[in-house]
Amino acid sequence: MLRLYNTLSRSVEDFKSIKPLSVGLYSCGPTVYDNQHIGHIKRYIGDDVLVKVLKANGYNVKHVMNITDVGHLVSDEDTGEDKMEKGAKKYGMSVWDIAKKFEKQFWDSIDAVGITRPTEIMHATDYIPDQIALVKILEEKGYTYEIPGDGIYFDTSKFPTYFALSRQNPEELKKGARVDFIEGKRNVADFALWKFSFTSKGEPRRQMEWWFGGPLEGKLSTSENWNQVPTEFREKVGFPGWHIECSAMSLRALTDFFSANLPYVQSYLTPQVKNLQTIDIHTGGIDHIAIHHTNEIAQSEAATGEKFVNYWVHHNFLIVDGEKMSKSLGNFYTVQDVVAKGYDPLALRYLILQTHYRQEMNFTWESLDAAQTALERLRSVILNESEGSLVHDHTWMKKFMEALNDDLNTAKALSVMWEMVKDQDLLPGEIQGTLLEMDKILGLNLKLNPKSQIPNLKIPEEVQSLISEREAFRKAGDFGAADEIRNKIADLGFTVEDKLEGPVITKK
Ligand code: AMP
Ligand code: ZN
């Protein structure tokens, strides 16, 4: 039986799915306005372990992730610059191209660290009509108010359990950091569901804005269609608040809410949708608890009248050399940086698995060195000639699963794995078989034999040693010397390509 820590109850609970042997899981995905660093990736490795452990427990998992490609303001509040527009300015590209560029970097990183991609990937810009529908349902039900020239806001005083997830004290909040600096906001925690673009006031048009109301509702507003819509609808042209996308897309993908509610405004109270509007698990970073997830719960539960999510899973941060990883401190590394320094990206995965997901993880290059060595040792166990057939040992597998079922204790699972590798009572084929079975969850690709990536390709010794020499230079950051060796390798008739999973050698 899987036990999971639920932020809602602040305790480890037995996991029970709503439908037998089937789990709906929603992960808040990245805002694709810049490179995703290894701190972000830690969080998705945590989700990947959760998915793989659920599957090992016999569940069929529908894993949904959003890509935020619109409307996430820098401050997490409802003021400040839009992250996408900021990224576009920085790189001199359109917001649409920025989204494409950094989504690719995200998936490249995800693939490199052995994460299984989600079952369904939803882009916020593809679900604007659903987000508008949800705002309209909340308007109909009396949970909203409008601040002219600003946006449509959720009135948190109408939702009595607003602080259930964050357990914040509203009085403390008033004194604290979340200052109510938007004129017209009724309560300090109120948040925007829809922001107006101010285009009617002659301010510059945004690159991403949509019609809200009118014949083109939910469609992009462009200069071509601007005059086709009656004037009264122009004031509400705008973009969704950050939180509404996750409510809309998770309810769309994992519940019957939308299919049972369209046309939404007229029939949203139909009784047959009762109890089909709750999601099993929702995940995010710990910083999502106080604002983003709290707001998602308020919006969704106010709209559906049902519990939104049964289990809330939150991942702790990655810090680097004792400080939080951030660009301004210059301690910001991507998976691509890790690879450029000559490490296997799966060594990063191994390192991340050594820390429980609810604990802060301190990243150092020395610890990555150690993780790479451990990974190579495990691979050598698999590579050694085995006597007898590969079978897995049930007693060790049981211990391993017990560790993972205890709130995803990957650190304990790794130590069980090493104990098993050293078990003198096991035959080599049993050790290898058990290791490979464990690797189905650990995702370290232990079968990988760097020398046999290209089957039937005989690499001469001279080339082999040049490749190793070049890797050493790359690891030391001496790319000039590495390039010189690449040329020598080319002279000998071979091409080296630096893929995220390591150097790949082909014959010219
Ligand atoms: P950002 O787009 O940089 O604000 O980050 C998006 C999300 O990634 C945050 O809300 C966090 O949940 C997560 N995240 C950012 N930095 C880290 C970090 N250093 N360690 C773990 N997760 C992080
Ligand atoms: Zn979200």
The Cα 335–Cα 61 span in angstroms is: 27
Q: pLDDT-based confidence at 75, cuts 50/70/90?
A: very low
Ligand 1 atom closest to residue 83's alpha carbon, by position in its atom list? 2
Mean pLDDT, range 3-18, rounded to an integer = 97
How many CB atoms lie under 10 A from the CB of residue 479? 12
Determine which residue's CA is closest to atom 1 belonging to ligand 1.
31
Q: Residue 74 pLDDT > 50, yes or no?
A: no
Predicted local confidence at residue 260, as pLDDT: 65
At which of 294, 315, 336 does a domain end? Answer: 315
Q: How far is the CA of 486 from the centre of ligand 2 (A)?
A: 44
For residue 411, the model assigns a pLDDT of: 98
Position 143, amino acid = Y
456 assigned to some structural domain: no
Any domain includes 452 = no
Inter-residue contact 251 to 304 (CB < 8 Å): yes
pLDDT at 211 over 60: yes
Q: What are phi and psi of 258, to 5 degrees?
A: -70, -45
Q: Where are the alpha helices (DSSP H) in 57-200?
A: 83-91, 95-112, 128-140, 170-175
State if pTM tops 0.75: yes
Please give the Cα distance from 113 to 500 (Å, whole number): 9
What does pLDDT average to over the chain?
Answer: 87
From 40, 292, 317, 335, the mutation candidate for ligand 1 (largest count of ligand atoms within 8 A of CB) is: 40
The predicted pLDDT at position 163 comes to 94
- The closest ligand to the CA of 315 turns out to be 1
Position with higher pLDDT, 275 vs 131: 131
Asked which of 300, 315, 330 is the last residue of a domain, the reply is: 315
Residue 454 lies in a domain: no
Expressed in angstroms and rounded, the spacing between residue 293 Cα and the centre of ligand 2 is 7
Residue 453, in any domain of the structure: no
Q: Which residue CA neighbors atom 18 of ligand 1 most closely?
A: 39
Q: Which ligand is nearest to the CA of 325?
A: 1
Give the domain CATH number at 335: 1.20.120.640
- 235 is written with which tokens? 């004031």
- Are 407 and 5 a contacting pair, CB within 8 Å? yes
**Both 203 and 271 in a single domain?**
yes
292/330 same-domain check = no
Higher per-residue pLDDT: 384 or 210: 210
Determine the pLDDT at residue 102: 92
Full 3-state SS string of 58-87 = CCEEEEEEEEECCCCECCCCCCCCEHHHHH
Range of the domain at 502: 461-507
Looking at the predicted structure, is the pLDDT value of residue 426 above 60?
yes
The reply to whether 267 and 351 lie within a common domain is no
DSSP state of 125: G
Let me know if residue 121 belongs to a domain.
yes
The residue written with tokens 């080319």 in the block is: 490
Task: Report residue 331's pLDDT band, with 50, 70 and 90 as the boundaries.
Answer: confident
Residues 244 and 288 in one domain: yes
The span from the CA of 218 to the CA of 201, in Å, is: 21
299 with 390, same domain: the answer is: no
User: Same structural domain for residues 335 and 285?
Assistant: no
- In tens, the pLDDT along 350-363 reads 999 999 999 999 99
pLDDT tens digit string along 435-459? 999 999 999 999 875 443 333 345 6
- Residue 399: partners with Cβ closer than 8 Å, 6 or more residues away: 416, 420
Q: E-assigned strands of 340-493?
A: 361-363
| DSSP code per residue over 3-62 | EEEETTTTEEEE---SBTTEEEEEE---BTTS---HHHHHHHHHHHHHHHHHHHTT-EEE
Give the pLDDT mean for 397-422. 98
39 ligand 1 Cβ < 6 A: yes
User: By mean pLDDT, which of 18-22, 260-264, 289-293, 469-473 is the weakest?
Assistant: 260-264
The ligand placed nearest to the CA atom of residue 76 is 1
Ligand 1 touching residue 325 (CB < 6 A): yes
Q: What does the block give as tokens for 79?
A: 């003021």
Residues 133-143 pLDDT 10s: 999 999 999 99
How many whole angstroms from 436 Cα to the centroid of ligand 2? 34
| Mean predicted confidence (pLDDT) in 363-389 | 87
Region of 502 (left: φ > 0; alpha: ψ -120 to 50; beta: rest) is left
Q: Give the Cα separation of 501 and 503 in Å (integer).
A: 7
Mean pLDDT, residues 261-280: 59
With a cut of 80, say whether residue 252 has pLDDT above it: yes
CA 260, CA 273: separation in Å to the nearest integer? 6
On whether residue 345 sits in a domain, the answer given is yes
Centroid of ligand 1 to alpha carbon of 114 (angstroms): 19
3-state secondary structure of 229: coil
Tell whether 309 and 325 lie within a shared domain: no
Residue 337: pLDDT over 90 = yes
At CA 444, angle to CA 440 and CA 447, rounded to 5? 80
Residue at token pair 């509203």: 170
Query: Residue 143 has what pLDDT?
Result: 97
Atom of ligand 1 nearest to the CA of 325: 19
- 204, two tokens: 């510059």
DSSP assignment, residue 363? Answer: E
CA angle 26, 54, 272 (to 5 degrees): 50
Residue 135 to residue 153: CA distance in whole angstroms: 9
pLDDT grade, residue 228 (50/70/90)?
confident
> Is 279 in the same domain as 263?
yes
Residue identifier of the C-alpha nearest atom 15 of ligand 1? 40
Q: Based on the domain organization, do 366 and 491 belong to the same domain? A: no
CB-based neighbours (< 5 A) of ligand 2, an ion: 28, 246
Q: What percent of the chain shows pLDDT beyond 90?
A: 59
Residues 292 and 354 in one domain: no
Q: Is the CB of 318 under 6 A from ligand 1?
A: yes
Task: Give phi and psi for 149, each to the nearest 5.
Answer: 75, 10
Look at residue 264 and tell me if it is in a domain. Answer: yes
Q: Which of 287, 295, 329, 360 to mutate to test the pocket of ligand 1 (most atoms within 8 A of CB)?
A: 287
* Domain end among 315, 335, 362: 315
Instruction: Say how many Å lie between the CA of residue 303 and the centre of ligand 1.
Output: 28
The verdict on 160 and 32 lying in the same domain is yes
Same domain for 240 and 158, yes or no, is yes
335 C-beta closer than 6 A to ligand 1: no
Report how many domains make up the chain: 3
Q: Where would I find the beta strands (DSSP E) of 329-447? A: 361-363
Asked if the peptide bond before residue 263 counts as cis, ω within 30 degrees of 0, the response is yes
> Residue 67 Cα, ligand 1 centroid: separation in angstroms?
14
What CATH number has the domain bearing residue 87?
3.40.50.620
Q: Which tens digits make up the pLDDT trace of 462-500? A: 887 788 888 888 878 888 888 899 988 888 888 887 766
User: Is residue 108 helix, strand or coil?
Assistant: helix
CB 31 near ligand 1, within 6 Å: yes
Closest ligand 1 atom, residue 76 Cα: 4
In a domain, 449, yes or no: no
Question: What's the token pair of residue 405?
Answer: 């079922």
